[in-house]
Amino acid sequence: MTLPYVLTLVADRRSGTLSSAAIDVARTMVKGSQPVVLSPGEAVEIPCPAPTPGSPTPATIRAAFARQKIDALLLKTRGRRKAVLVADMDSTILGNETLDDLADLLGCGEEVTRITEASMNGELDFAASLKARVALLEGKPASLLENVWENVKFNDGAETLVRTMRAHNARTALISGGFTFFTQRVAEHCGFDENYGNVVDIRDGIFTGQLAAPVLGPESKRDHLEKMAEARGVRLGAALTTGDGANDLPMLHAAGLGIAFHAKPHVRAEIETQVNFAGLRTHLFAQGYPASAFVS
């Protein structure tokens, strides 16, 4: 008989391997059955019974392995594999904050970064903060967008996550509060089916300091998620979302599996399922995919 829960352990490949001792500790904590290896030295899943009063909480389990930089995700077994993926871009699929990088090149980096951090931590309204950051670009050359693009870094497992889920018939979308200049290129690189972002206004190669379309913010991300699930013919419970900032919270809460990925403190305080150390491959392990099934 299949147990109703599974605990997935994933080690940060840059920091070390997943030890048998750590697996044994986890198995004891959740009273789990025989572990299943998903990727040798990197990831295992441990089938286990449903938590009962007095059982370790997900936060307690995470804390037990934090010093070893091992992520622990406790999830229901039923419906693990998702039919929709919606991902944030900056600091999620990318290691960059593209607007901050652009501002650095244009000489207004410190002010823009300060606004970005306040917004992502939920201290400022997203729409107001975005307009304030874009306003600082007024009169600057838009040609530097290409320079930012040349220096973006994709987070470990980004392409693998998207291409593997697509290979298993999931619909995928990149939805960002950043600029469409970047979302279009990132989506093409990773293989996303759809991409959405904010449109910055450029005239004669110069930033006007305004947006050319309404702000795509937190509620817009959730709206796109709902439309994708409807088009795919599934409920929101069959969707996976991932992001790091406060503007991702509505879609993280709405999805059947919302993962806070290397997220800001405000987001980690609200979202129980977290990836704090390992890469985006963890999202596949959480769904029960072994590394042998990955598409890269």
DSSP-assigned beta bridge partners for residue 242: 87, 259
Do 246 and 163 lie in one domain? The reply is yes
In this predicted model, what pLDDT tens digit does every residue of 153-196 receive, in sequence order?
999 999 999 999 999 999 999 999 999 999 999 999 999 999 99
DSSP-assigned beta bridge partners for residue 211: 200
Alpha-carbon Rg for the chain in angstroms: 20
Residues 37 and 44: their CA atoms lie apart, in Å, by: 4
88 is catalytic: yes
Those residues with Cβ within 8 angstroms of residue 71's Cβ, 6 or more apart along the chain or in another chain: 9, 10, 11, 12, 62, 65, 274, 275, 276, 277, 278, 282
Q: What is the pLDDT of residue 254?
A: 98
Q: What is the pTM of this model?
A: 0.96
Q: What share of the chain is helix, strand, coil (3-state, %, to 5)?
A: 45, 25, 35
Has residue 1 got a pLDDT over 70?
no
Catalytic residue chosen out of the listed positions 12, 24, 71, 88: 88
In this predicted model, what pLDDT tens digit does every residue of 24-55 receive, in sequence order?
999 999 999 999 999 999 999 999 999 999 99
Determine the structural domain holding residue 66 and report its residue range.
1-78
Amino acid at residue number 246 = A
Number of domains in the chain: 2
Do 23 and 142 lie in one domain? The reply is no
125 is catalytic: no
In this predicted model, what pLDDT tens digit does every residue of 239-275 receive, in sequence order?
999 999 999 999 999 999 999 999 999 999 999 999 9
- CB under 8 A, 24+ apart: contacts of 231-237: 231/171, 232/83, 232/84, 232/171, 234/83, 234/84, 237/79
Do 12 and 43 lie in one domain? The reply is yes
Catalytic residue chosen out of the listed positions 90, 101, 244, 248: 90
For residue 125, how many other CB atoms are within 10 A of its CB?
A: 17
* CATH, residue 43: 3.30.70.260
Mean pLDDT confidence for 124-151: 92
Do 56 and 101 lie in one domain? The reply is no
Do 142 and 250 lie in one domain? The reply is yes
Residues 208 and 242: their CA atoms lie apart, in Å, by: 32
**What are the structure tokens assigned to 262, written together?**
């290397």
Q: What is the pLDDT of residue 26?
A: 98
**Dihedral angle computed from the Cα positions of residues 160, 162, 165 and 167, in that order, rounded to the nearest 10 degrees:** -80
Do 64 and 93 lie in one domain? The reply is no
